Amino acid sequence: MARDHETAPYDIALFGATGFTGSLAASYLVQHAPAEAKLALAGRDRAKLAALREGLGRPDLGLIVVDVTDAASVGELAAAARVVISTVGPYMSHGEPLVAACAAAGTDYVDISGEWEFVDLMYLRYHAAAKASGARLVHCCGFESIPVDLGALFTVSQLQPDVPIALQGFTLSNGAISAGTFQTALEALSRLKQGGRISRQRRTAERHSEDGQVGAQRRVRGIKGRLHREPAAGGWVVSGPTIDPQNVLRSARLNPAYGPDFSYSHHLVTRKLYRTAVAALALAIVATLAQFEHARRLMVKLKRPGPSAERRAKSFFRVRFIAEHGDRSERLITEVRGGDPGYEETAKMVCEAALCLAFDDVPARGGGQWTPALACGQPLIDRLTRAGIEFAVVEPG
């Protein structure tokens, strides 16, 4: 039974508010939420939450003490808000209790996870419960995967809905990562086999689900990227271990606007070939070391807690899309671009996603686990555009 959201004391609750990304999200949320919005900060330490509230100059903010190992407190958080934002990772270690509580309570949930195993596992365990309760579970509402998922939606919206589309995405960024983000990546790399097994189980479950099937007259497929130079992307491109393609393809499967025959491949961009080779070698070394717990701990200790404000101010991202459509003789190029991807813009993205679910007229998907493009669609593109993230047509086609 869908929950009556009018009974919740808060419109949005931010879990993990005193963390590195959480504090950025808290600052953004209080500055950009409607004046009438009822907001709460949630975390383990009441004193830190109170200090954050005082620093924000908002004595009206609610405070909710939550420990993910305490089911009762997690349930109280889910019951307290219409939408819950979670910035507490690694999500495989800390994320499931809140997803479960929101799915049971009918509370909308957004996070900034890019952990493919976590997202797949949450689909298997809680998609059906969320459908029944009306909860919309929307993972990957940060740099992974809003620029790519919504950028793909923006691109196909420029084309006729009845033409085949071969879409490629190319991500270029100079953003730095924190120790927490690095730890999350290491945990994911240490569980590649388990993640692959869960991914296969999810694909099987989706094939047998009414909301996971492609219409009989449509085809949607992923294309593995290859190392090559792509002048339109600005350098050398190679496939990367991100969740972005998975989200784009799920969005395409459930939205006929992506055309009768849609394919997607995703790439990371480097300016020079040697940088691509160095990055690939570094990833291989890190992935190997990540299989050993002591090595993971040591590598995390060597990382700084988070990039400075000065470093974040110099960071940027750009995702360029090349869409070959019709008989593939026509080409459209679009772009999504913004500032510091991992922190400043991620905080902006997840807050705008929560505000979108709370206050906007979004696609009528009902409950379940959805991608950002499926859950929020064009209203979120409009919000992000107003917030300074650019969605642009570079080359009409």
Instruction: Please write the tens of the pLDDT for every residue from 203-261.
Output: 999 887 767 667 668 999 999 988 889 999 999 998 877 899 999 999 999 999 999 99
pLDDT of residue 1: 43
**Bridge partners of residue 97, in order along the sequence:** none
Query: Alpha helices of the chain — where are they, by DSSP H?
Result: 20-32, 46-56, 71-80, 91-94, 96-105, 116-133, 146-156, 179-189, 192-207, 244-253, 273-289, 293-301, 309-313, 344-359, 372-375, 377-386
Each domain of the chain, given as residue ranges in start order, spans 5-143+346-379, 146-204+217-341+390-395
Residue 215 CA to residue 219 CA, distance in Å, equals 8
87 vs 303, more confident: 87
Q: What is the largest CA-CA distance in the chain?
A: 62
Per the listing, tokens 């395409």 go with 252
Assigned token pair, 303: 């990382």
pLDDT of residue 217: 81
pLDDT of residue 215: 67
Phi, psi dihedrals of residue 171, rounded to the nearest 5°: -100, 125
Tell me the HSE value of 344 on the side-chain side, using a 13 A CA sphere: 19
pTM comes to 0.93
pLDDT band for 179, please (50, 70, 90 cuts).
low
- Exposure letters 344-354 (e unless 16+ CB within 10 A, then b): bbbbbbbbbbb
Overall average pLDDT of the 364-378 stretch: 96
Give CA separation, 355 vs 175, 197, 214, 300, 347, in Å.
25, 34, 30, 33, 12
Residue 155 has pLDDT above 90, yes or no: yes
**In angstroms, how far is CA 226 from the centroid of its own chain?**
24
DSSP structure class, residue 364:
-
pLDDT band for 178, please (50, 70, 90 cuts).
low
Tell me the HSE value of 332 on the side-chain side, using a 13 A CA sphere: 24
The per-residue pLDDT of the chain, averaged, comes to 91
Residues composing the chain: 397
Residue 281 has pLDDT above 80, yes or no: no
First to last CA, the chain: 46
pLDDT of residue 380: 98
**In angstroms, how far is CA 87 from the centroid of its own chain?**
11
Q: How much of the chain, in percent, has pLDDT values that exceed 70?
A: 94
> What is the rounded (10 degree) CA torsion for 11, 15, 21, 25?
10
Asked if 103 and 130 count as a contact pair (C-beta separation under 8 A), the reply is: yes
Residue 397, classified by CB atoms within 10 Å of its CB into exposed (0-12), middle (13-18) or buried (19+), is middle
* Nearest alpha-carbon partner for 85 in 3, 131, 28, 147: 28
pLDDT of residue 289: 78
Residue 64 CA to residue 41 CA, distance in Å, equals 6
Asked if 375 and 138 count as a contact pair (C-beta separation under 8 A), the reply is: yes
pLDDT of residue 292: 81
Tell me the HSE value of 311 on the side-chain side, using a 13 A CA sphere: 12
- Exposure letters 23-59 (e unless 16+ CB within 10 A, then b): bbbbbbbbeebeeeebbbbbbbeeebbeebbeebeee
Assigned token pair, 123: 């689909």
Q: What are the tens digits of pLDDT across the range 89-131? A: 889 999 999 999 999 999 999 999 999 999 999 999 999 999 9
Residue 158 has pLDDT above 70, yes or no: yes
Q: Where does 5-143+346-379 sit in CATH, by number?
A: 3.40.50.720
